[in-house]
C-alpha cells in the first residue's frame, strides 16, 4: 500500500491492489506519464498500479466518453468498453469521443480507434452488445472497477447489483438537463445505489435526455468526476465519494454534497440479499393503471411486422430524432400532437407507438387507449431495445442515411 | 401563513415553472407531501406509489439532511425549514 492520507473525518477508504508484481513502465511511458510521476500521491508506484488496473466503462456516450478519454490518457492499463449503439449526429453535442466522420459507425469501432490513437499503451477490450442479468457477472469479473455511463434505470440497477455481488466499486454518474449526480457505491464501506434509491421511478415519470434535453458539457463535468474517482480508488489515494452523493447544478454553478448511509434492510447489499440472483428491473406503470398488455416487446413486434397484418408504427419522438433514423414505414406524430390524431388512427389496424426508450410511447399508448383505441401499444424499451435485441431486424433500417453504415461495422 | 418551503427538482416537476418553491403550513414532511399531492394531483402521482405510500425513487431532505437520518415522514417542519426532493436521474 502507498502511504495513505486519512482525512480528519475518517472518510471511508477502499483498498488498492497490492504493490507486489506491478508491471514496469517503459521508457516511453516514463516520459508520457511524467506529470504523474512528479505527483507525490501517484509517483512511479502509483503509475505502475494504474498500468496493472482494469476499468470497465459501460456506455461510451456523454459520461463514458470523457471518462474513457481521461482514463486512457492517465494510463489505466486495461479499459473495457460496453456499447451496442451507433454514432448519431445528435450525439456529437456531448459525446466527445466521436468525430463528424464517425456518424453511422459503431460506437465501439469509433471509440477504440480514438483511444488507441490517444494512448497505444492501453489495452482496449470491446464488449459489443447489452449487459443483462445473464452476462454482466462474467464481463465484470475480470475488472477492478466499473464506471456507469448508461442512460436508463434498469441498467443502473443491474450494474449496482452486479458490483455489489462481485465487490467492485460502482462509480456512478447521471445527468438530466442542467443537473448531475455522482457517487461511488462500494458496500460495505458505504451504501449502494439501492440504499439511496430503493425503487426506480415509474416508467412515465422518466424523462430521457432526448426528450428533456441535456446541456452538452454537463456529462463532461460529471464523466470527468467519475474518472477522477476511479483513478483515486485505483491508486488508493484521497477520499473517494463513498457515502456521499455529489449534486451538481450547472445553472446555478453549485456543487452540493449529501451524506448517504447504508440501508440495513437494503434489498441488495444487506447480508441477507447479497447473494440474491440478479434480475432485470422493470419500470412499473403508473398508479392504478388499468391497461393490460400496454407494451409489446421487440421480438413480438418484429414477428408482427413480418406477419399478415402488420401494425401501424407511429414514432412519437420529435422531428429531429425521427430524421436521424426510424423504423421503416413509421409515421411521425410527436407525442404533443398525438391527441389531435386519435380519430384518424382509430380506423387503422393495431397501432404500435415507439420512442427512444419507451417512456413517451407509453404515455402515448395510454392517451390513445383513453381515447378509445383499446389495442394501442407501446414498444417496450423503445428503439433502443429494438436495436439492441434485433441489430439486423429484417426490413427495418434504423440508421440514417439509409444503409450507409452497413458493412463498416463488425456487428 | 407559517411555513416551510418545498423545493422540487425538474425531474419531478417536469417543467421550469413546476419547480417554483411552494410554501407549506404542514407540520411534518409526510403531511406536507400529502397536501401537495392533493392540491397538485400530477405531482402526487410522481411522489406517491399509492395513497399514503411515498415512492422510494427520491431522497427527501430537510435543511440538507436526509429524512431517513431524521424521523422519516414524521420529521417535523418549522418556519423557514427547506424540504427538498432529490430525484434519481438516469441520463447519461
Ligand atoms: Zn444497498
- A82: domain CATH number is 3.40.50.720
Catalytic residue among A163, A266, A269, A355: A355
Partners of B59 on chain A (C-beta within 8 Å) are 196-197, 245, 258, 260
**Among the listed residues A282, A283, A337, A300, the one whose alpha carbon sits nearest the alpha carbon of residue A315:** A337
- Asked which of A259, A284, A311 is the last residue of a domain, the reply is A259
Q: Please tell me whether residues A228 and A341 are part of one structural domain.
A: no
Instruction: Using the structure block, give the residue that is written with the C-alpha cell 447504508.
Output: A262
Three-state DSSP state, A246:
strand
Note whether residue A266 is domain-resident. no
CATH number of the structural domain spanning residue B29? 3.10.20.30
Assigned C-alpha cell, A357: 426508450
Q: Please tell me whether residues A238 and A365 are part of one structural domain.
A: no
Note whether residue B92 is domain-resident. no
Task: Report the sign of the C-alpha dihedral through residues A74, A106, A61, A150, in that order.
Answer: negative
Closest CA–CA distance from residue A303 to any residue of chain B (Å): 31
Partners of A287 on chain B (C-beta within 8 Å) are 45, 48-50
Note whether residue B43 is domain-resident. yes
Q: Please tell me whether residues A74 and A154 are part of one structural domain.
A: yes
Closest CA–CA distance from residue A284 to any residue of chain B (Å): 10
Strands A179-185 and A244-249: antiparallel
Contacts for A302-306: CB closer than 8 Å, 24+ residues apart: A302/A386, A302/A390, A302/A393, A302/A394, A302/A396, A304/A350, A304/A352, A305/A395, A305/A396, A306/A394, A306/A395
Q: What's the pLDDT at A292?
A: 54
- Asked which of A234, A259, A284 is the last residue of a domain, the reply is A259
How far is it, in rounded angstroms, from Cα A326 to Cα A358? 14
Q: What's the pLDDT at A123?
A: 98
Q: What's the pLDDT at A384?
A: 87
Domain count, chain A: 2
Residue span of the structural domain in which B51 resides: 4-87
Note whether residue B16 is domain-resident. yes
Note whether residue B80 is domain-resident. yes
Note whether residue A23 is domain-resident. no
pLDDT under 50: residue ranges of chain A? 1-10, 287-291, 392-411
**Among the listed residues A203, A212, A209, A213, the one whose alpha carbon sits nearest the alpha carbon of residue A361:** A203
**Among the listed residues B48, B46, B45, B44, the one whose alpha carbon sits nearest the alpha carbon of residue B36:** B44
- A62·B56 Cβ contact <8 A: no
Helices (H), A141-242: 153-166, 193-196, 209-212, 218-235
Annotate chain B with DSSP letters as a single string.
---EEEE--HHHH-STGGGS-EEE--SBHHHHHHHHHHH-HHHHHHHEEETTEE-SSEEEEETTEEGGGTTGGG-B--TT-EEEEEE---B-
Cα–Cα separations (whole angstroms), residue A182 to A77, A165, A370, B74: 24, 21, 39, 28
Note whether residue B20 is domain-resident. yes
Q: What's the pLDDT at A7?
A: 43
Catalytic residue among A163, A209, A266, A269: A209
Note whether residue A372 is domain-resident. yes
Strands A254-259 and A244-249: antiparallel
Q: Please tell me whether residues A348 and A403 are part of one structural domain.
A: yes
Assigned C-alpha cell, A200: 426506480
A354: β partners: A315
**Among the listed residues A388, A393, A332, A384, the one whose alpha carbon sits nearest the alpha carbon of residue A359:** A384
Partner residue opposite B56 with nearest CB, options A173, A199, A259: A199
Q: Please tell me whether residues A207 and A303 are part of one structural domain.
A: no
Domain count, chain B: 1
Q: What percent of chain A has pLDDT over 90?
A: 65
Strands A145-148 and A170-176: parallel
Closest CA–CA distance from residue A290 to any residue of chain B (Å): 14
CB contact residues (below 8 A), chain A span 339-368, against chain B: none
Give the pLDDT band (50/70/90) at residue B67.
very high
Assigned C-alpha cell, A147: 464506471
Note whether residue B59 is domain-resident. yes
Distance between alpha carbon B69 and the CA centroid of its chain, in Å?
16
Note whether residue B14 is domain-resident. yes
Q: What's the pLDDT at A290?
A: 44
Q: Please tell me whether residues A333 and A238 are part of one structural domain.
A: no
Strands A179-185 and A170-176: antiparallel
- Asked which of A210, A239, A259 is the last residue of a domain, the reply is A259
Give the pLDDT band (50/70/90) at residue B10.
confident
**Among the listed residues A94, A244, A259, the one whose alpha carbon sits nearest the alpha carbon of residue B91:** A94
CB contact residues (below 8 A), chain A span 249-268, against chain B: 256, 258-261, 263
Q: Please tell me whether residues A253 and A331 are part of one structural domain.
A: no
Distance between alpha carbon A403 and the CA centroid of its chain, in Å?
26
Q: Please tell me whether residues A311 and A253 are part of one structural domain.
A: no
Strands B4-7 and A123-128: unpaired
Residue span of the structural domain in which A346 resides: 295-407
Residue in B closest to A263 by C-alpha? B68
In this predicted structure, which of A202-211, A299-308, B20-29, B46-55 has the lowest mean pLDDT?
Answer: A202-211
Q: What's the pLDDT at A266?
A: 96
Note whether residue A45 is domain-resident. no
Predicted TM-score (pTM) of this structure: 0.78
Q: Please tell me whether residues A252 and A299 are part of one structural domain.
A: no
Q: How far apart are the CA of A274 and the centre of ligand 1, in A?
A: 9
B3 in Cβ contact with B25 (< 8 Å): yes
In this predicted structure, which of A284-288, B17-21, B50-54 has the lowest mean pLDDT?
Answer: A284-288
Amino acid at each position: 500500500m502507498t502511504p495513505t492520507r486519512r482525512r480528519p473525518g475518517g472518510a471511508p477508504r477502499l483498498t488498492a491492489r497490492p504493490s507486489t508484481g506491478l508491471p514496469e513502465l517503459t521508457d516511453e511511458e516514463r516520459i508520457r506519464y511524467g506529470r504523474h510521476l512528479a505527483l507525490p500521491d501517484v509517483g512511479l508506484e502509483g503509475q505502475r498500479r494504474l498500468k496493472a488496473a482494469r476499468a470497465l466503462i459501460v456506455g461510451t456516450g456523454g459520461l463514458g466518453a470523457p471518462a474513457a478519454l481521461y482514463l486512457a490518457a492517465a494510463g489505466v492499463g486495461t479499459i473495457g468498453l460496453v456499447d451496442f449503439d451507433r454514432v448519431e449526429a445528435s450525439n456529437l453535442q456531448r459525446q466527445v469521443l466521436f468525430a463528424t466522420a464517425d456518424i453511422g459507425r459503431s460506437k465501439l469501432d469509433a471509440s477504440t480507434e480514438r483511444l488507441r490513437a490517444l494512448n497505444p499503451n492501453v489495452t482496449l477490450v470491446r464488449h459489443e452488445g447489452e449487459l443483462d442479468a445473464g452476462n454482466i457477472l462474467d464481463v465484470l469479473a475480470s475488472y477492478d472497477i466499473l464506471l456507469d455511463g448508461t442512460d436508463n434505470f434498469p441498467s443502473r440497477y443491474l450494474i449496482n447489483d452486479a458490483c455489489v455481488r462481485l465487490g467492485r466499486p460502482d462509480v456512478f454518474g447521471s445527468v438530466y438537463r442542467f443537473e448531475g449526480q455522482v457517487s461511488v457505491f462500494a458496500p460495505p464501506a458505504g451504501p449502494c445505489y439501492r440504499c439511496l434509491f430503493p425503487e426506480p421511478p415509474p416508467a412515465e415519470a422518466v424523462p430521457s435526455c432526448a426528450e428533456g434535453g441535456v446541456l452538452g458539457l454537463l456529462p463532461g463535468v460529471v464523466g470527468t468526476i467519475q474518472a477522477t474517482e476511479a483513478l483515486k480508488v485505483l491508486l488508493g489515494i484521497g477520499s473517494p465519494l463513498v457515502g456521499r452523493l455529489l449534486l451538481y447544478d450547472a445553472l446555478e454553478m453549485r456543487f452540493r454534497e449529501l451524506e448517504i448511509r447504508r440501508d440495513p434492510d437494503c434489498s441488495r447489499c444487506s447480508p441477507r440479499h447479497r447473494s440474491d440472483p440478479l434480475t432485470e428491473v422493470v419500470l412499473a406503470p403508473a398508479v392504478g393503471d388499468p391497461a393490460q398488455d400496454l407494451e409489446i416487446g421487440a421480438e413480438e413486434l418484429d414477428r408482427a411486422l413480418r406477419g399478415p397484418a402488420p401494425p401501424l408504427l407511429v414514432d412519437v419522438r420529435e422531428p429531429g430524432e425521427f430524421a436521424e433514423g426510424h423504423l421503416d414505414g413509421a409515421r411521425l406524430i410527436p407525442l404533443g400532437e398525438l391527441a389531435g390524431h386519435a380519430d384518424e388512427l382509430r380506423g387503422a389496424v393495431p397501432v404500435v407507438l415507439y420512442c427512444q426508450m419507451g417512456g413517451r410511447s407509453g404515455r402515448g399508448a395510454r392517451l390513445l387507449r383513453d381515447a378509445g383505441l383499446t389495442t394501442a401499444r407501446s414498444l417496450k424499451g423503445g428503439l433502443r431495445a429494438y436495436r439492441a435485441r434485433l441489430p439486423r431486424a429484417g426490413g427495418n433500417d434504423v440508421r440514417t442515411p439509409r444503409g450507409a453504415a452497413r458493412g463498416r461495422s463488425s456487428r | 401563513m407559517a411555513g416551510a418551503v418545498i423545493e422540487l427538482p425538474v425531474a419531478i416537476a417536469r417543467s421550469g415553472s413546476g419547480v417554483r418553491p411552494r410554501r407549506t403550513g404542514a407540520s411534518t414532511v409526510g403531511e406536507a407531501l400529502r397536501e401537495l399531492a392533493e392540491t397538485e394531483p400530477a405531482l402526487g402521482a410522481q411522489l406517491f406509489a399509492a395513497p399514503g405510500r411515498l415512492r422510494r425513487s427520491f431522497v427527501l431532505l430537510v435543511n440538507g439532511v436526509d429524512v431517513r437520518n431524521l424521523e422519516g415522514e414524521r420529521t417535523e417542519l418549522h418556519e423557514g425549514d427547506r424540504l427538498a426532493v432529490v430525484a434519481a436521474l438516469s441520463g447519461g
